[in-house]
Amino acid sequence: MKKVILISFLLSILSAQGSITGSVHRADNDEPLLGVNVLVQNTFMGTTTDIDGQFTIDQLNPGEYTLVISMIGFKKYMERGIIVSDEISHIDIQLAQDVLSAPHVVVTASRQAQDVMELPVSMSVIGPRKIHDRAAVNLVEVMKFEPGISSVRGQLNIRGTSGYTLGVGDRSLLLIDGVPVLGSGAGNITWTMVPISEIEHVEIIRSGGSALYGSSALGGVVNILTKNAPTKAETRFRLKSGMYSEPKYKQWQWRSQPGLFNYLDLTHSRPIGKHSAWVRFHKAKSDGYKRQGWTDANNITGKVKFNFGERYNASLFANYYADKTALASQWKNSANPFSSPSGEEDDYTEGTKLHLNGFFNMILSDKTVIKLKGSMYDVWWQSHSATNDNGIDEQKGYGEILISTTLGQSTQITAGVVGQTAKIRARVYGDHSSLSMAAYIQAQQRIGKKLTLNTGARMETYFVDDEKLDESLAPQIALNFRMFDWLSFRSSVSSGFRVPAIAEMYTRTQLNIFKVEPNPDLIAERSQAGEVGMIVKLPGNKWISDMTMDVVAFKSTFDQLIVANPDDKGIIHFENLTDARITGLEVGASGALFNQMLLFSIAYTNLDPEEIDKQGNAIDTLAYRFRNTLVTTIGTRVWGVTASIDYRYMSRIERVKLFQENPFTGQDKRVPIHIWNAGLGSQIRGWDLQFRVENMFQYYYTELERNMGDERHFSLTIGKVF
């Protein structure tokens, strides 16, 4: 009898569950929208719309709910006061276009979906339109137009944390779909592996992320969210071809004909029952703008999204990259800045990289979800140089278990454990192994209707060759005060850390005149950071609309910063040489003018990067940092034609490490950087066409001593969806 009563009780609970169904259409022409995200606020329940714009969310307990409806290219919409009982609730929604095409809901800042106006830390979000309009093949070229972000010879700099470290010891963490891309023993990021044509959007934490993401996130986090396959099969084609200008000075010319480049992307995607998949082939072949600037690469990337009903889903991402790339150290001399030193004209590296990652999500209830994440990375490369024949064979593995739960209507807890292992066999480093283990927790507490408090910490232990190298705790506390729907304030304080990369500890190599010796006594870097900021979003009118402004002031201090330090004999050691302080201001603004015919964005960053002593007194300027950066874009979309002009200014680098400026001869002179780019695009009979010119005024500069910056180049990009 008791069993009968229990079964009857359970059935009554299940039968009491209700559903929300609905449709989402465009506001301007009433066409159904495919792939719109529909989330139940304060739960982990959600879905996306089908090809007819329809959606269904089942297994909801009786109560009152709010739906958050969002899609890139459209304004976010919230439907409040939906009453769910044992019957089906149906709503119809129309979304208005957003000309700025940026996501309104992000996941990286707190490892859960969050409105951009309620973020606890500073974040930049790059939508697919920014990538498309620049016809980019390297994501760094797009990120440099965001506040606080620059690069030196392709090495990403977020708020000046990295400077230039000879391509090792990157202080920014790269994620793909929330799973770390592990990188090599050098601790650097291989940006050429990123499938840029398949990016849904990019989220960049600019204020450091060690509290949630660990050692590699000392300076910030870049999370690339890739596309899911659409609900109908399609094939996408894109070809970018172009040429470099000849140097404007005849004595600099080093070849008889202009250098060419070609980048091909071919992607096929399709549904497979309830699941979906895409596969992409990428070919890159470039002569480069200088003698040792050529590359020849092939890349195959694929993603499978598994849907096992309302509560279970998984994803598998695979990326294989093989390349041959010229190996360059410096120019031949100032009279031949595009030529290579004698004997290095044929130096190159070749290698392969295999990256696999995946996750499995289990929604245990509308309040609790468990996520399992894993990845592996295998890299091999070999250099062919007149001064060395270094090589490396490396494998890395990563695993993570995350649980997130909502307590009541105001508190969300996220916690997880992480393990990462690596094994390296290399001539340049020797044979080594590493292991890291970490646990983290974060709590998000709503206080009233306007205030959100985020607290969290991460504890991580790191071993090299079975010996403990470091154990660090990284706490963080952050507040967001959303005064109005259009205005919010934020502030945060945090600690961070970064353990030295294997390359920084054990590298022994020589390239041209540069000789690097090992330093196994390196210890972890540590940082303390704080910031205050505000975001303003105004809908405006037909003359000025979609105005967004983000202003933030920040300060970071670093203990035992690892730098590449040449001695009196020119031998480079990585050393815990520097305590540092970086204070700064970032201002970003974007919007539309004249009935959305003219679009603009502008970002200004001011840094005061100082090397300091133990008492906090300034000693010198940190090397390889731009004190002032200004980037702006103005564009228009009229009658199916797009046009844009970009300008990028970086102030003169005040201090370098390798070759000092000679004030008498002018040798190794450093100058401010002024780069103008322009683009023109249109769609003709289903073909997407873009013409661009980069560095159109042929401005010459160096970011790294004796390495000339990009020469002017022209490109035509054509694309089509079949």
Buried b (16+ CB within 10 A) or exposed e, 523-537: ebbbbebebbbebeb
* Shared-domain flag, residues 256 and 338: yes
Q: pLDDT-derived band of residue 107, with 50, 70 and 90 as boundaries? A: low
| Domain end marker among 46, 71, 95 | 95
Considering the domain boundaries, does residue 305 fall inside one? yes
Q: Compute the mean pLDDT over every residue in the chain, rounded to the nearest whole number.
A: 87
Which token pair is 337? 């800045």
Separation in Å, CA 334 to CA 8, 660, 707:
86, 14, 10
More confident residue, 205 or 9: 205
Which token pair is 512? 């041209």
| Range 290-303 average pLDDT | 95
How many other CB atoms sit within 10 Å of the CB of residue 363?
A: 20
Considering the domain boundaries, does residue 382 fall inside one? yes
* Shared-domain flag, residues 79 and 110: no
Pairwise CA distance, residues 440 & 454, whole Å: 13
Separation in Å, CA 427 to CA 157, 314, 392, 702:
29, 39, 7, 31
User: Nearest Cα to 44, choosing from 107, 113, 115, 110?
Assistant: 113
Q: pLDDT-derived band of residue 6, with 50, 70 and 90 as boundaries? A: very low
Please say if the pLDDT value at position 7 is more than 50. no
* Phi, psi dihedrals of residue 165, rounded to the nearest 5°: -125, 40
Separation in Å, CA 114 to CA 82, 104, 372, 442, 458:
20, 8, 21, 14, 21
Percent of the chain at pLDDT > 90 equals 50
* Shared-domain flag, residues 45 and 194: no
* Shared-domain flag, residues 120 and 234: yes
| Range 509-516 average pLDDT | 75
* Shared-domain flag, residues 81 and 165: no
* Phi, psi dihedrals of residue 7, rounded to the nearest 5°: -65, -40
Pairwise CA distance, residues 151 & 155, whole Å: 5
Query: What's the pLDDT tens digit per position in 551-590?
Result: 999 999 999 988 888 877 778 888 887 799 999 999 999 9
pLDDT of amino acid 9: 41
pLDDT of amino acid 108: 65
Q: pLDDT-derived band of residue 167, with 50, 70 and 90 as boundaries? A: low
* Shared-domain flag, residues 19 and 141: no
| Domain end marker among 54, 69, 95 | 95
β strands within 485-570, DSSP E: 487-498, 509-511, 514-516, 525-540, 544-566
| Domain end marker among 50, 69, 95 | 95
Query: What's the pLDDT tens digit per position in 633-666?
Result: 999 988 889 999 999 999 999 998 888 888 888 7
Pairwise CA distance, residues 84 & 717, whole Å: 50
Asked whether 707 and 658 are in contact (CB, 8 A), the reply is no
Considering the domain boundaries, does residue 257 fall inside one? yes
For residue 707, give the H/E element and its range.
Answer: strand 707-708
Q: pLDDT-derived band of residue 37, with 50, 70 and 90 as boundaries? A: confident
* Shared-domain flag, residues 505 and 603: yes
- Please tell me the chain's helix, strand, coil percentages from 3-state DSSP, rounded to the nearest 5: 5, 60, 35
Asked whether 622 and 609 are in contact (CB, 8 A), the reply is yes
pLDDT of amino acid 12: 45
Query: What's the pLDDT tens digit per position in 357-383?
Result: 999 999 888 788 999 999 999 999 898
Considering the domain boundaries, does residue 231 fall inside one? yes
* Shared-domain flag, residues 702 and 588: yes
Asked whether 565 and 574 are in contact (CB, 8 A), the reply is yes
* Shared-domain flag, residues 199 and 230: yes
Pairwise CA distance, residues 178 & 358, whole Å: 9
For residue 554, give the H/E element and its range.
Answer: strand 544-566
More confident residue, 403 or 570: 403
pLDDT of amino acid 635: 93
Residue for token pair 């249109």: 682
Asked whether 168 and 83 are in contact (CB, 8 A), the reply is no
Name the domain count of the chain.
Answer: 2
Asked whether 397 and 424 are in contact (CB, 8 A), the reply is no
* Shared-domain flag, residues 128 and 239: yes
pLDDT of amino acid 152: 87
What is the four-CA torsion angle of 12, 14, 17, 23, rounded to 10 degrees?
A: -140
> CATH number for the domain including 637?
2.40.170.20
Question: What SS3 class is residue 82?
Answer: strand
Asked whether 610 and 160 are in contact (CB, 8 A), the reply is no
Percent of the chain at pLDDT > 70 equals 93
| Range 314-333 average pLDDT | 92
User: Nearest Cα to 170, choosing from 244, 113, 221, 243?
Assistant: 221
> CATH number for the domain including 86?
2.60.40.10
* Shared-domain flag, residues 434 and 484: yes
Considering the domain boundaries, does residue 631 fall inside one? yes
Considering the domain boundaries, does residue 375 fall inside one? yes
Considering the domain boundaries, does residue 91 fall inside one? yes
Q: pLDDT-derived band of residue 66, with 50, 70 and 90 as boundaries? A: confident
Please say if the pLDDT value at position 183 is more than 70. no
Q: pLDDT-derived band of residue 15, with 50, 70 and 90 as boundaries? A: very low
Q: Which residues fall within 8 angstroms of residue 363, CB to CB, at 6 or more apart?
A: 44, 45, 310, 311, 312, 369
pTM recorded for the entire structure: 0.88
Pairwise CA distance, residues 236 & 230, whole Å: 12
Residue for token pair 């709910």: 65
Position 656, amino acid: V
Considering the domain boundaries, does residue 100 fall inside one? no
Q: pLDDT-derived band of residue 4, with 50, 70 and 90 as boundaries? A: very low
Could you report how far apart the first and last alpha carbons of the chain are, in Å?
Answer: 63
Pairwise CA distance, residues 489 & 535, whole Å: 7
User: Nearest Cα to 319, choosing from 363, 378, 274?
Assistant: 378
Which token pair is 407? 């307590």
Query: What's the pLDDT tens digit per position in 47-62?
Result: 878 778 888 888 787 8
Question: What SS3 class is residue 486?
Answer: coil
Q: Taken in order 192, 194, 200, 202, is the CA torsion positive or negative?
A: negative
Q: pLDDT-derived band of residue 119, with 50, 70 and 90 as boundaries? A: confident
* Phi, psi dihedrals of residue 383, rounded to the nearest 5°: -95, 145
pLDDT of amino acid 13: 43
* Shared-domain flag, residues 581 and 702: yes
pLDDT of amino acid 11: 42
Q: pLDDT-derived band of residue 593, with 50, 70 and 90 as boundaries? A: confident
Query: What's the pLDDT tens digit per position in 527-554?
Result: 999 999 999 988 777 788 888 999 999 9
Please say if the pLDDT value at position 1 is more than 70. no
* Phi, psi dihedrals of residue 367, rounded to the nearest 5°: -110, -10
Which token pair is 248? 């404007």
**Domain range spanning residue 305?**
105-721
Please say if the pLDDT value at position 511 is more than 70. no
Asked whether 694 and 700 are in contact (CB, 8 A), the reply is no
Asked whether 674 and 695 are in contact (CB, 8 A), the reply is no
